[in-house]
Structure 1
């Protein structure tokens, strides 16, 4: 919406969207707190003009994938949030972005939404953006100690939801499978999911379980035959996997080895990608709201652009939910 456009009143918003006046008032208050609107007593609420020190009206999405099939539909949420504004969205892969001079970024883009490939690979670019005071929001990752705002799913809660579901089904030997060797740094998305799994597992785990050792062993056993043998040797009946792609890949490998899923192994993934519901058996997974995450990233970025000197919430966690399907059953 253009700057200074009047917004509907609290009552009008409540009627239009079928919510209470309390809800519409809260929504307007959140927009005001984010510095996206301003209020004039007796006149109402108005869209605040975006402060844009560059001449560009373009926002850049830096993302390591050519499509959203591997990470979820963040781009839809970003586009939704920008639809009523005069900002244009462009996207670019991380390796191409790394070759851009900082002066060109400042000149051509008013702000950057950045999905890191891995923090250790992208840190130089992120530090350069931070020092250049270019508005930036991270997706899916956080950088402890640096005031770069970020938007992530509540991965710790997700890990706990996954393991609690398996515990409720009677499983007691539950492992965590990750392609990422998260134990090298114990930071990032996969570590957060592992810690959530660990927190949920603590009170019900058998005395001889070894969650970290199991995770390392499963990652280091590269072939399906080796992984299958390890799962059988350790009598593991439930598995929490770092994401849906890894979970679906493992399920396919075990199927080729004549495992009966979920009878032989109950599997829970993360993300709820479209393929999860189409698998056989359909994958139980922790759903994150990619669209809402994208919308929150835009709101956070626009708040920076409106008021560059203000201190923003460093980290926004988006709630997750468990989606139960046929890949998990009660332990025999």
Structure 2
């Protein structure tokens, strides 16, 4: 009798093995092994018969034993830092979905700090688990420094953090995204665009600063200092909004703001509203990320969308290519500007 993934005889149930699948499918043990390990030299009808038997029995291959035969556990290691924000969390989900679609499971290690020691420990653990490749997800400088110091015996690629020639990487085109947002605001007649930047040690934040400044310079517009450096949170955006409102009420001509992410834009909008400023009549605001809630802000937020699913797909594509000995250099993931109600024509100066 078959019951619950085991074969029952007169005594206690025993775990299913390949020979049980072979007996039900009417094939050899070796044929079942070829199907389980993805070997190409199996007739389609035979493969289908074996897969039906596997499904009927509820057989689960012994991953450790399969690794001894194939040298592959079909597992990727994912080490990530500080996923309490929307972007890193969605990127991690995108990577996991893409890995699953490629037939790989994912082992995840979440670090509180991207120190070299913590990164080394996480990667050493993955190597001990015999993962086939490792993806490091972060945007911070300390993570980049830690990665540069590591040379594991399995392919290691970086996502959202600069790789350099010694470490293949894939990320989002932050600079173009910021340029799109700045160009949009200038096109509405704003004399210049101010910026609420992200953390100083974030490569993503610096990419957005570079794009904002480059577009202002290209347009011949004044390049102001950043209004404030936030920490990606709504509370830091709120503080920036309070400081901004005080400057506007003090007579400064500030009519357009690019915030480094949507969460800071949310805090900024709340502060401006509390200080009696209208959006977009007095100040136009653009965010970055396209949070699911962004269309429901008051007013709905104009923002730069990042395709985290595509970022995950390219990250997995990159590590699989390295595992196969291919020298792949994927293009940055493009961004798109979504125009909503938080931006409008510059107010007429009197």
Matching residue of 1:151: 170
Work out which of the residue numbers 225, 243, 249 in structure 1 matches 2:261. 243
CA RMSD of aligned residues (A): 3.1
| CA distance 1:132–1:328, shift in 2 (3 Å) | same
2:127 is aligned, of 106, 118, 135, to 106
Structure with more contact order per residue of length (Cα contacts < 8 Å, sep ≥ 6): 1
1:118 to 118, 121, 140: 140
Counterpart contact for 2:189–2:345, Cα < 8 Å: yes
Matched, 1:257 2:275: yes
TM-score after normalising by structure 2:
0.68
Contact 1:140–1:150 (Cα < 8 Å) also in 2: yes
Distance apart, 1:195 and its partner CA:
1.7
Tell me which residue corresponds to 1:42: none
Q: Could you say if the C-alpha distance between residues 223 and 285 of structure 1 is closer, same or farther in structure 2, counting changes exceeding 3 Å?
A: closer
User: C-alpha distance in 1, partners of 2:40/2:332?
Assistant: 31
Distance 1:191 1:104, change over 3 A: closer
Aligned to 1:323: 338
The match for 1:311 among 291, 310, 327 is 327
Structure 2 counterpart of 1:287? 305
String of CA shifts for 1:125-157, please: whole Å, max 9, x gaps.
x1344x22431221212144x421111111111
Q: May I ask how many residue pairs the two structures share in their alignment?
A: 273
- Which deviates the most, 290-299 or 244-253? 244-253
Name the structure 1 match of 2:27: none
Deviations 1:276-315 (A, max 9, x none): 12211111011111101100100111111122xx4332x5
**SS of alignment partner, residue 106 of structure 2:** strand
Structure with the greater alpha carbon radius of gyration: 2
Among 217, 220, 229, the alignment partner of 1:219 is 229
Residue correspondence of structure 1 range 20-31 to structure 2 within 5 A: none
Query: Distance in 1 between the 2:176 and 2:87 partners?
Result: 21
DSSP-derived class of the 2:86 partner: coil
The offset of 1:259, in angstroms, is 1.9
Residue 157 of structure 2 is matched in structure 1 by: 137
- Taking the aligned partners of 2:190 and 2:41, their CA distance within structure 1 comes to 56
Relative to structure 1, is the Cα distance of residues 210 and 78 closer, same or farther in structure 2, using a 3 angstrom cutoff? Answer: closer
1:231: how far off? Answer: 4.5
What SS does the corresponding residue of 2:157 show, helix, strand or coil? Answer: strand
Distance in 1, matches of 2:171 and 2:294, equals 21
| Structure 2 contact 144–162 (Cα < 8 Å) conserved | no
SS at 1:176's partner residue?
Answer: strand
Consecutive aligned runs of 4 or more in structure 1 exceeding 6 Å deviation? none
1:226-266 CA-partner distances (Å, limit 9, x unpaired): 33223454311011111111111211222222221111110
**Structure 2 unaligned residues grouped into runs of 5+:** 1-36, 43-66, 231-235
Structure 1, gaps ≥5 residues long: 7-49
Alpha-carbon offset, residue 69 of structure 1: 3.0
1:1-332 paired onto structure 2 within 5 Å:
2=38, 4=40, 56-65=73-82, 69-71=86-88, 73-95=90-112, 98=119, 100=121, 102-108=123-129, 109-116=131-138, 118-121=140-143, 123-124=145-146, 126-129=147-150, 131-144=151-164, 146-181=165-200, 188-206=203-221, 209-211=222-224, 214-215=225-226, 217-219=227-229, 224-232=241-249, 233-307=251-325, 310-313=326-329, 316-332=331-347
